Structure 1
Amino acid sequence: MKLFANLIRILDSTNKTNLKVEALTDYFRQALPNDKVWTIALLSHRRPPRPVNTTLLRLWANELANIPMWLFEESYHIVGDLAETIGLIIPTTENHSDKSLTTFLEEIIALKTKSEADKKAYLHENWLALNYYERFVFTKLITGSFRIGVSQKLMTRALAKAENLDEDVLAYKLMGNWDPNRVSFQELILDEKSSDFISKPYPFYLAYPLEMEIEALGNPADWSAEHKWDGIRSQTIIRDGQIFVWSRGEELVTDKYPEFQAFAKVIPNGTVLDAEILPFPNNEIGTFNDLQTRIGRKTVSAALLKTTPVILKVYDILEWKNEDIRTKPYQERRQILEELFAEIKSPGLPIRLSERVQFSTWDELIEERTRSREMRSEGLMLKKNDSPYLVGRKKGDWWKWKIAPLTIDAVLTYAMRGHGRRSNLFTDYTFALWQNQEDGTRELVTFAKAYSGLTDAEFRQVDDFIKKNTLERFGPVRSVTPQLVFEIGFEGIALSKRHKSGIATRFPRILRWRHDKKIEDANSVEDLKCMIIGNDEIEE
């Protein structure tokens, strides 16, 4: 545990990629095999379930620190992170613990079924046996919200370096549904097992945003384009007569989409498709808001299958006839994919080919991009014809060229403190639009939250305004005198019964502070609904 806590301390103290890779490499060369497995799991978002809720954590930590609860809460709001607050307020003793990371995690997993008295005693004992940073990491593990500034790609690079393995092969090994509590380091990383192959997906290839002028890409004849669909990126695998569906988050979601089982009867074994899962109500592409009714459901009812059907929109093929074809040029993979779809003789299947955009000049592609919202897409994907299917995010061969966001002017009405380096500032904002009332008056109605888009100097100015213009406090939330107007951008919009405004926005963020506008000039909920009408998304 000491070695792991020291690793997290180093990773948390630098933004330099090379230093992070070096620290991870040194750690993997020193750590115990089981601790390596758990570290890989934690850094690839495989965490044990939380055994204690945060209310009890706060209460028990406060008792041990022997300070007034109001002081603990104020400290928490200032620090912005519960584990860090607990690590700071509990006094460090001369006690110490030599338990391994694996031992701690096994105890945390077992803790879930214990009584509250046993949980409290366990936490008090270990909080007092750890130094500040060990206590911070231990509490992070307890909360189940372990996040650190390291991507899985960086972790994979360091592990490959430490174990002298091929990075791409290692990335493939770490894909899939493995359990850190049941697999050894030898089995996970070092052994080769053909039985593991049947359900495993490939690492996803990701595109960079196109921020240059499109003409800078060179000859249009060297490129292919298609629409960028707004759904769930997935890989669908058909091997040995079975089908496996993986999300980009490495979650096996086969049972969430039972309609895809029919693919195994018409698509040959040894096929892996890279595709987007899209909502398809009324035989047309729906909104991401439609798709959310399927996400997170433990069971998919017959009624849900009927009201929110989905399709698989396929744009690449990674394996064909049991052969990994990722090294073949995109143009060649696309030809194989089109031939596969020509052979599928079941028109009722919920599977579609993502059509390529036909263009010979960049101007023609620019014009096609303007049709994106009409097509229910986020913009265009550009892929070089000779590009292989790589691992992770690489610059040069694949670009995503998204359309400009929808925008609206809204009023700041609520604020919360931020996190990390902004934990002492109010930077998480709630915005509202005007709505007409039956008596002829107008009322501000909340519609979106956003916490990015301003400069550090602007955040400090807004924070100063919030502190001087607080109307009410609701725990960490403050209501604010409605006075500041901001331009809010978002990718998509749909009707929603879960929001007070009746509308849900997708990926809202602050575009700019409108110093030139008064709150009377802000937009209304009706203006927002007009955007939906413009996209043909309102249904009576």
Structure 2
Amino acid sequence: MKKFAALIKTLDTTNKTSLKVEALTNYFKEAPEKDKVWTIAILSHRRPPRPVNTTLMRNWASELAEIPLWLFEESYHIVGDLAETIALVIPPAEESSEKSLNQFLQEIIELKSRSEEEKKDYLLENWLALNYYERFVFTKLITGSFRIGVSQKLMTRALSRATDIDEDILAYKMMGNWNPSETSFSSLILEENEEDYLSKPYPFYLAYALEGDVEDLGDVSQWSAEHKWDGIRSQVIVRNDELFVWSRGEELVTDKYPEFQEFVGTIPNGTVLDAEILSYPNGQIGTFNDLQTRIGRKNISKNLLKKNPVILKAYDILEWKGKDIRNHPFAERRKILELLYAEVSSEDFPLHLSEKISFQSWAEVAEERERAREEKSEGLMLKRLDSPYLVGRKKGDWWKWKVDPLTVDAVLTYAMRGHGRRSNLFTDYTFGLWDEEKKELVTFAKAYSGLTDAEFRKLDNWIKKNTLERFGPVRSVTPHHVFEIAFEGIAESKRHKSGVATRFPRMVRWRTDKNIHEANTLEELKALIPK
């Protein structure tokens, strides 16, 4: 644990990529084998389930620190991170623990089934046996909210330097549904085990947002264009008469989409499709809000399948007849996909093809982009015809060209402290629009990005002087400030007081030129919902 805590401290206190890679490389060369596996798992978001709820942890920490709970809560709201707050308020360690990271993680897994009293004893014992940063890391592992500024790509680069294995091969090895409690570093990283690859997806290729003018991409005849669908990016695998559906977040979600079982026996074995899962109510593409009724459900009922079916909108093929074809040009892969679709498609078959757009000029491509919302898409994907399917986010061959966001002017109604470096400032905001009948503001969205540091500080100062009520960490404020709020999509929602759900809301600008009565109304917002 000492080595892992020292690693996290280094990663957490530098913004230099070179230093992070160096620290990770040295760690992977020197750490015990099982600790290496757990480190890979933690940094790629494969953490064990949280064994203790945070309410109990706050109570026990305040008790151990001999401070009232209200003071702990106030400290937590100022610090902005529970693990850091606990590490700060608890008395210095009385002893030193020599347990490994693996030993701690195995104990945390077993802790979930223990009694509340046993959980308390375990936490108090270990909090008092670890120094500040070890205690911080230990608590992060308990809460399951372990996020650090290390991307999968950066970790893969360090592993490559430590093992002399190619980065793309490592990225593929770390994909899939492996369990850090049961997997050795050797079998995960060093060994070649063909049977392990039956269900494994390939690393996803990610596009950058288009920079500059579309004409800057050059000869239009060298490009393919299609709509960018607003669903769940996935890889669907058919191998050995078995189906595997993976989300981009490396989650195996086969059981969530039973419609795709039809692929087995129809789509040839040795096929991997890169595609978008889309809701398809009443025989047409639905909204992401529709799709959310399927996300997170433990059981997919017959009624839900009937009410909100899904389709797979395929736009690339990565494996064909058991052969990895990612290095083939996109145009060639696309022809294979089209031939496959022609062979298996039927009226009720849940595999659909992402249609190519016909165009002779960039102006025609731009016109199609303007139609994106009519097609229930977010914009366009532009792909160079000779491009291979690469690993991770690369510039040059694939670009996403989204439609301009929708915007409304809204009134700031609530504020909450931010996190991390903004934990001492009120930077998380809730916004309202006018209900014209009731003559009141109704909340419709939350946003915490889009302002400069100077604007955040100025607004924080105003919030502290114009608070109306406090609700724990949240403050209601005097309606006074208007902000332009942008969002990518909009749909009706019964879960929201406004009756509307927006996708990716953020602040575009502080409208100091407007008073609150010039803000938009709920009716104007609802008028933006696609018909």
Task: Settle same-fold status: TM greater than 0.5.
Answer: yes
Distance between the aligned counterparts of 2:196 and 2:405, measured in 1? 43
Deviation, 1:264, is: 1.3
AA in 2 matched with 1:510? M
Distance between the aligned counterparts of 1:17 and 1:235, measured in 2? 30
Query: SS of the residue aligned with 2:429?
Result: strand
CA deviations 1:307-347 (Å, max 9, x no partner) are 10110000000000100000001011111111111211533
The match for 2:308 is 308
AA in 1 matched with 2:358? Q
Asked if residue 443 in structure 1 is aligned to residue 445 in structure 2, the reply is no
Query: SS of the residue aligned with 1:473?
Result: strand
Deviation, 1:195, is: 1.1
CA deviations 1:244-276 (Å, max 9, x no partner) are 110001011111000100011211111000000
The match for 1:460 is 457
The match for 1:520 is 517
Query: SS of the residue aligned with 1:180?
Result: coil
- Map of 1:326-365 to 2, 5 A cutoff? 326-365=326-365
Distance between the aligned counterparts of 2:115 and 2:244, measured in 1? 39
Query: SS of the residue aligned with 2:108?
Result: helix
Deviation, 1:17, is: 1.4
The match for 1:505 is 502
Asked if residue 86 in structure 1 is aligned to residue 86 in structure 2, the reply is yes
Distance between the aligned counterparts of 2:289 and 2:168, measured in 1? 35
AA in 1 matched with 2:447? A
Query: SS of the residue aligned with 2:380?
Result: strand
- Go from structure 1 to structure 2 and tell me whether the alpha carbon gap of 1:515 and 1:94 turns closer, same or farther (over 3 Å shift): same
AA in 2 matched with 1:141? L
Deviation, 1:115, is: 1.4
Contact 2:168 2:391 in 1 (8 A): yes
Asked if residue 67 in structure 1 is aligned to residue 64 in structure 2, the reply is no
CA deviations 1:21-42 (Å, max 9, x no partner) are 1111111011000000000000
Query: SS of the residue aligned with 1:319?
Result: strand
Q: Which moved more, 1:215-224 or 1:344-353?
A: 344-353
Q: Which consecutive unaligned segments of at least 5 residues does structure 1 have?
A: none
- Go from structure 1 to structure 2 and tell me whether the alpha carbon gap of 1:288 and 1:313 turns closer, same or farther (over 3 Å shift): same
AA in 2 matched with 1:220? V
The match for 1:203 is 203
- Go from structure 1 to structure 2 and tell me whether the alpha carbon gap of 1:192 and 1:413 turns closer, same or farther (over 3 Å shift): same
Deviation, 1:114, is: 1.3
Deviation, 1:467, is: 0.3
CA RMSD of aligned residues (A): 0.8
- Map of 1:165-176 to 2, 5 A cutoff? 165-176=165-176
The match for 1:429 is 429
Deviation, 1:16, is: 1.5
User: Given the two structures, how large is their TM-score scaled by the length of structure 1?
Assistant: 0.97
- Map of 1:261-300 to 2, 5 A cutoff? 261-300=261-300
CA deviations 1:21-73 (Å, max 9, x no partner) are 11111110110000000000000110011111101101111111112222211
AA in 2 matched with 1:323? K
User: Given the two structures, how large is their TM-score scaled by the length of structure 2?
Assistant: 0.99
The match for 2:409 is 409
Asked if residue 226 in structure 1 is aligned to residue 226 in structure 2, the reply is yes
Query: SS of the residue aligned with 1:531?
Result: coil
Query: SS of the residue aligned with 2:375?
Result: coil
Distance between the aligned counterparts of 1:500 and 1:70, measured in 2? 30
Query: SS of the residue aligned with 1:365?
Result: helix
Contact 2:256 2:297 in 1 (8 A): yes
Deviation, 1:93, is: 2.8
Asked if residue 481 in structure 1 is aligned to residue 478 in structure 2, the reply is yes
AA in 2 matched with 1:389? Y
Query: SS of the residue aligned with 2:374?
Result: coil
AA in 1 matched with 2:482? V
Q: Give the one of 488, 491, 494 matched to 1:494.
A: 491
Query: SS of the residue aligned with 1:202?
Result: coil
Distance between the aligned counterparts of 2:269 and 2:347, measured in 1? 20
Deviation, 1:436, is: 2.5
